[in-house]
């Protein structure tokens, strides 16, 4: 698209700009260089499409996760002559040009060491904008900051509208404004999630898959984010594990997260070769067992994805398996999920923690001083996901398995353990979690069972 600029670029730019920026993978300066070198062909408003593109790049550079000050300043110098021409001709008619001038003012104030020029730009932009424009308050904030930086004191300039969107994010990032206190109701799912780079995902999560060549299980995984297998486990495997687990006489199961290291009957289920082979077919990589939840009661863990709890290298090369060891009663608090939600943006642990209070981030509990950030953040994560489910008009599905049934779910799938209607009713199950063997450098200590299946080793006793 960048090599053949014509009128179509003007119409397509809004839809393509964010994706194009993501594709640069942190090299917006290169993108700027490529755009500035384009032929200067006039668009329908008289401005060249190249200059319109550069205006958008100025905004994009300061409005994305890429923080490249040198590129921002280069972009500012590239667009400054255009802004000057537009001002000389009577004004800024395009929204991206107003945003670009605002970006210039902020960068002059904070980065290029010329707050006097930034102050003049803020003042001139305010004069050009309608009184109720959303940039008015942002310009007032910037004007006050620039005034302070040039060593003068003036009265705070009042304006009717608070900064929002691009302007607010830019002021916050460059330290010219303080973040507004947010309530739980203010936080949305998109605030702690983002679309991952498709090329780094397992093969069935990519767009270029020929679905005519997929198995029924692969199609289900791609469509719904789950695979349900009925009567999957031989009875002798489930019976052997149930007998060992029942001897524990504890509804919550083993407290250790890796009891499979010490319980061969559990490994026989969790590493059952047909189960491991199917997971390999879904992700395209051998899988590594590293977590087992052995309670026979609902976890009551509210809506979440699994992947945001992992190191960033995992990036959805991860599965979890829900094994029914007996008939699951609807009143026991069944596993519940949103079919197709594995195609939603990916939750980010870093973004979730950034939305927590400082007290929550500093909190430490227990003898080892653990910060249970995933639990603390449920207060805003669960309501935001509930709102997203309602906005998408989607309905949850419960997994009511029978003995030997299995549900495998995607690490981006929205799921939860529901609250039991009869609290003392057992929910006999085993839940196991796996990562791709090449995507857990933090789990280098491993073992292989008699069938060649891998599991991670930890220095944890069976308790």
Residue 315 has pLDDT above 50, yes or no: yes
pTM assigned to the model: 0.65
SS3 419: coil
SS3 143: helix
Q: How many Cβ atoms are within 10 Å of 379's Cβ, its own excluded?
A: 14
Residue 154 has pLDDT above 60, yes or no: no
Distance CA 224, CA 177 (A): 43
**pLDDT interval class at 76 (50, 70, 90):** low
DSSP string, 188-219: -GGGGEE---GGGS-GGGSS---GGG--HHHH
The span from the first CA to the last CA of the chain, in angstroms, equals 60
Share of the chain above pLDDT 70, in %: 73
- Torsion angle in degrees (nearest 10) through CA of 262, 269, 429, 202: 110
Distance CA 262, CA 260 (A): 5
- 276 CB contacts (<8 Å, ≥6 apart)? 286, 287, 451, 453
SS3 66: coil
**Each residue of 245-296: pLDDT tens digit?**
999 988 999 999 999 999 999 999 999 999 999 999 999 999 999 999 999 9
CA-only gyration radius of the chain, Å: 27
Token duo for residue 154: 């003036």
Distance CA 17, CA 174 (A): 22
**Each residue of 6-36: pLDDT tens digit?**
444 444 444 444 444 444 434 444 555 555 5
Of 398, 432, 201, 199, the C-alpha closest to 319 is 432
Backbone angles phi, psi at 217, to 5 degrees: -70, -40
Distance CA 156, CA 158 (A): 6
Q: What is the DSSP code (8-state) at residue 48?
A: B
Residues in the chain, overall count: 463
Of 318, 277, 273, the C-alpha closest to 439 is 318
Per-residue burial over 427-440, b = 16 or more CB atoms within 10 Å of its CB, e = otherwise = bbbbbbbbbbbebb
SS3 406: strand
Distance CA 452, CA 463 (A): 27
Q: Which has the higher per-residue pLDDT, 345 or 123?
A: 345
* DSSP β-ladder status, 193-194 and 346-347: antiparallel
Q: Which has the higher per-residue pLDDT, 125 or 304?
A: 304
Distances (CA, A) of 131 to 41, 88, 128, 163: 34, 21, 9, 13
**pLDDT interval class at 146 (50, 70, 90):** confident
Of 354, 406, 352, the C-alpha closest to 374 is 352
Facing residues of 48 across strands? 42
Of 262, 260, 261, 266, the C-alpha closest to 243 is 266
Facing residues of 196 across strands? none
Burial class (CB in 10 A: 0-12, 13-18, 19+), 198: exposed
Strands (E), 85-210: 193-194
Instruction: Identify the weakest region by mean pLDDT among 186-200, 374-388, 443-457.
Output: 186-200
Burial class (CB in 10 A: 0-12, 13-18, 19+), 60: buried
Question: Tell me, what's the pLDDT at 9?
Answer: 45
Facing residues of 320 across strands? 409, 433
Token duo for residue 333: 């608090």
Backbone angles phi, psi at 284, to 5 degrees: 85, 20
Token duo for residue 222: 């791609």
- 75 CB contacts (<8 Å, ≥6 apart)? 28, 32, 54, 57, 58, 61
**pLDDT interval class at 181 (50, 70, 90):** low
Q: What is the DSSP code (8-state) at residue 418?
A: P
Q: Let me know the angle formed at the C-alpha of 270 by 260 and 348, rounded to the nearest 5 degrees.
A: 90
């Amino acid at each position: 698209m960048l090599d053949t600029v014509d009128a179509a670029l003007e119409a397509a730019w809004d839809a393509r700009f964010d994706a194009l920026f993501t594709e640069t993978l942190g090299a917006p300066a290169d993108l700027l260089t490529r755009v500035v070198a384009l032929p200067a062909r006039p668009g329908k408003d008289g401005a060249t499409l190249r200059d319109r593109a550069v205006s958008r790049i100025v905004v994009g550079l300061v409005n994305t996760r890429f923080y490249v000050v040198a590129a921002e300043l280069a972009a500012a110098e590239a667009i400054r002559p255009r802004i000057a021409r537009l001002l000389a001709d009577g004004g800024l008619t395009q929204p991206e040009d107003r945003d670009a001038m605002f970006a210039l003012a902020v960068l002059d104030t904070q980065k290029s060491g010329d707050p006097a020029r930034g102050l003049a730009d803020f003042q001139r932009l305010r004069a050009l904008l309608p009184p109720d424009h959303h940039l008015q308050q942002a310009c007032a904030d910037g004007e006050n900051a620039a005034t302070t930086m040039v060593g003068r004191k003036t009265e705070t300039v009042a304006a009717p509208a608070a900064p929002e969107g691009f302007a607010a994010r830019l002021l916050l990032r460059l330290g010219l404004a303080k973040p507004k206190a947010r309530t739980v109701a203010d936080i949305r799912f998109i605030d702690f999630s983002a679309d991952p780079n498709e090329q780094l995902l397992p093969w069935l999560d990519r767009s270029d898959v020929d679905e005519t060549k997929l198995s029924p299980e692969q199609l289900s995984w791609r469509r719904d984010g789950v695979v349900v297998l009925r009567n999957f486990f031989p009875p002798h495997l489930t019976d052997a594990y149930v007998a060992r687990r029942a001897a524990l006489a504890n509804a919550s199961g083993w407290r250790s997260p890796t009891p499979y290291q010490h319980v061969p009957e559990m490994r026989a289920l969790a590493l059952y070769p047909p189960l491991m082979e199917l997971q390999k077919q879904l992700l395209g990589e051998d899988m590594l067992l590293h977590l087992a939840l052995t309670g026979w009661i609902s976890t009551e863990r509210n809506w979440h994805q699994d992947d945001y709890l992992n190191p960033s290298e995992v990036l959805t090369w991860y599965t979890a398996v829900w094994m029914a060891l007996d008939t699951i009663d609807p009143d026991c608090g069944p596993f519940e999920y949103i079919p197709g939600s594995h195609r939603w943006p990916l939750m980010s642990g870093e973004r979730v923690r950034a939305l927590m209070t400082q007290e929550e981030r500093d909190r430490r509990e227990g003898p080892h001083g653990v910060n249970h950030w995933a639990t603390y953040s449920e207060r805003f994560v669960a309501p935001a996901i509930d709102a997203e489910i309602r906005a998408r008009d989607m309905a949850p599905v419960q997994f009511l398995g029978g003995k030997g049934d299995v549900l495998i779910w995607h690490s981006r799938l929205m799921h939860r353990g529901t609250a039991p209607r009869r609290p003392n009713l057992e929910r006999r199950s085993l839940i196991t979690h796996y990562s791709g063997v090449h995507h857990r450098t933090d789990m280098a200590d491993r073992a292989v069972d008699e069938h060649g299946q891998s599991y991670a080793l930890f220095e944890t006793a069976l308790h």
